[in-house]
Amino acid sequence: MISIKNVCVKYNGRTILDNVSADFEDTRIHLIVGPTGAGKTTFLSVIIGFVKPDEGAVAVPRGDISDLRNRMGILFQFPEEMFFLEKVYEEIALAPISRRMDRIENRVHQALEMVNLSPDILQASPYEISYGEKRRVALASILSYSPDWILLDEPFAGLDRRGINMMVGVIKNLKERGKGVIIASHRIEEIAAICDSVTLLVEGRLIFSVETSMTDWNEIYSAGCDVPVSVRFSMALAANGINIGYPLTIDEAVKRLKETRREER
Amino acid sequence: MFELNNVFVKRGGKEILREVNLGIGFSERVVLTGPNGSGKTHLGLLLSGMIYPTEGTIIVDGKNIKDYELKDIRRISGIVFQEPEMQFITMSVEKEILFGLQNIGLNHNEMKLRAEKIKSMFGLDNLWNKSPYQLSGGEKQIVAIASIVAMEPSFIIFDEITTFLDRKHRERIYEILKQLRCGYLWITQDFDEIPIGERLLVLEDGRIVFDGEVEPLLKSLEIDSPLNRLKRLLIEEGLEEFL
């Protein structure tokens, strides 16, 4: 588990994170939402240790804190812009090589499999592959050193529908492989239904951090964020006196509405 | 208007845009969508005079786009990018607005007048003296739009500018769009944004594969957006009353 305790971050006299506490359980998918400027990226940077909190601490039980960088991997926005090597293979192999790990080729193949890419891509230049593939190669380039935790900052930004669906599949896959995933995203249409917890940050303050089923989506909407279409629909129904809770998929929303109608009759 | 005649853009042996034939009026509100790598950004860059076709011609108001000077092109078409920081040059919002105005050759009085008008149109009073780099992502994008609108171009290209914005800021920008007196090309991946335009262009693999009116499409629920999926499912399940 990752425990964030009373973390404050200030920058140029401005408070970016204000006394934030939250726990993230292993092998789960955690979603961080919040309007632009809420502090989501800073929050991820604190967790991985790139930003040192002015107050408070991040506790990662089981293991040495100095080992943190090997146990976590982070992808910032548009990670594919950081490519600088000639072949996809080299990009993915770089992290385990620089950490003096063994079985590099094996690690590269495993990472590639986790992001649903075929080995054919390894000899290609990272500049000549498709946009969606680039994003997944960037993800493979941190999976190759086998971190337990993957932190993703806006992993869907700029991807088309197909790319987004692929990425969602990969994230599910990571959870099945026993990885913990923390995603900061304002695009949640596709990810809401598969995440285990939802954390809302607004202007550096933590509003809540709860299991997905306990999430107050009204609060998220009022904060200026997106909510899935199914939630928007249920909010409109609620305004008309029909309660179907907060379904996270369209199918579930329609199913619940049908059931409610049946019960009424 | 813009007239694209058999336009190709090639880079490193690859055809990024092919056989594009299009006429776009300056007052048209056009949405351009298509998968990653389909050539959307290149089409936007072409219309803003930032790049030229490898083959074919672009005629703007009867004259080849290559024959214009950059400052004249800026009076015709402005462009706003996904990452607004790419276009900031100065250290205050006010200077940012004035910078563009100076470049298109306005005199001091005209610049001041225009800047005041933009300040009130975009509600920039509180940000006026701040550095554009200090602003939140949403504010930055609004300043970037303001600095382009200030130049009063005939047409504006918006290249996926809402990618990093939350719902509130996006809605604010949609409101600003409604106030614009010029036409625009709105590039997006988000099918929910299609109603922003009156005309829709779809690019696939460098080719225009759809060019038509938005209105009938919206009625037909043909666009594969989450909202339309919900509507279609409600109809299928005999729950039309909830549409």
Q: Residue B241 — very low, low, confident or very high, per pLDDT cuts 50/70/90?
A: confident
On the question of pLDDT at A65 being above 70, the answer is no
On the question of pLDDT at A151 being above 70, the answer is yes
Domains of chain B from N-terminus onward: 2-89+152-242 (3.40.50.300)
More confident residue, A62 or B23: B23
Q: Is A257 on the interface with B (CB under 8 A)?
A: yes
Residue B237: which of A77, A224, A254 has the nearest Cβ?
A: A254
Contact B194, B202 (CB under 8 A): no
Least confident stretch, A209-213, B226-230, B239-243: B239-243
Subunit contact A250:B189, Cβ cutoff 8 A: no
- Interface pTM (ipTM) of the complex? 0.82
In chain B, residues with a C-beta closer than 8 Å to the C-beta of A230 are 230
**And the tokens for B58?**
């672009």
pLDDT digits (tens, 9 = 90+) for A190-209: 999 999 999 999 999 999 99
Helix, strand, coil shares, percent, chain B, to 5: 45, 25, 30
pLDDT at position B218 is: 85
In chain B, residues with a C-beta closer than 8 Å to the C-beta of A37 are 136-138
In chain A, residues with a C-beta closer than 8 Å to the C-beta of B168 are 35, 224
- Provide CB contacts within 8 A for A64, sequence distance 6+: none
DSSP B97-148: HHHHHHHTT--HHHHHHHHHHHHHHHT-TTTTTS-GGGS-HHHHHHHHHHHH
Phi/psi of residue A39, nearest 5 degrees: 105, 15
A136-172: b or e for each residue (b if 16 or more CB lie within 10 Å)? bbbbbbbbbbbbbbbbbbbbbbbbbbebbebbbebbe
Q: Are strands A149-153 and A180-184 parallel, antiparallel or unpaired?
A: parallel
Subunit contact B189:A228, Cβ cutoff 8 A: no
Contact B1, B24 (CB under 8 A): yes
Q: What is the mean pLDDT of chain B?
A: 91
pLDDT digits (tens, 9 = 90+) for A227-255: 999 999 999 999 989 999 999 999 999 99
Contact A198, A33 (CB under 8 A): yes
pLDDT digits (tens, 9 = 90+) for B117-149: 999 988 899 899 999 988 877 888 899 999 999
* B7 membership: H or E segment, kind and range: strand B2-11
pLDDT at position A81 is: 78
CB atoms near residue A11 (< 10 Å): 11
**And the tokens for A147?**
């971190």
Q: State the best of A188, A221, A229 to mutate against chain B, taking most chain B CBs within 10 Å.
A: A229
Contact B77, B154 (CB under 8 A): yes
Contact A80, A134 (CB under 8 A): yes
On the question of pLDDT at A61 being above 80, the answer is no
Give, as one character, the DSSP assignment of residue B91.
Answer: S
The answer, as to whether pTM is greater than 0.90, is no
Domains of chain A from N-terminus onward: 2-227 (3.40.50.300), 228-265 (no CATH)
Contact A237, A244 (CB under 8 A): yes
Q: Is A154 on the interface with B (CB under 8 A)?
A: yes
Q: How far apart are CA A66 and CA A83, in angstroms?
A: 26
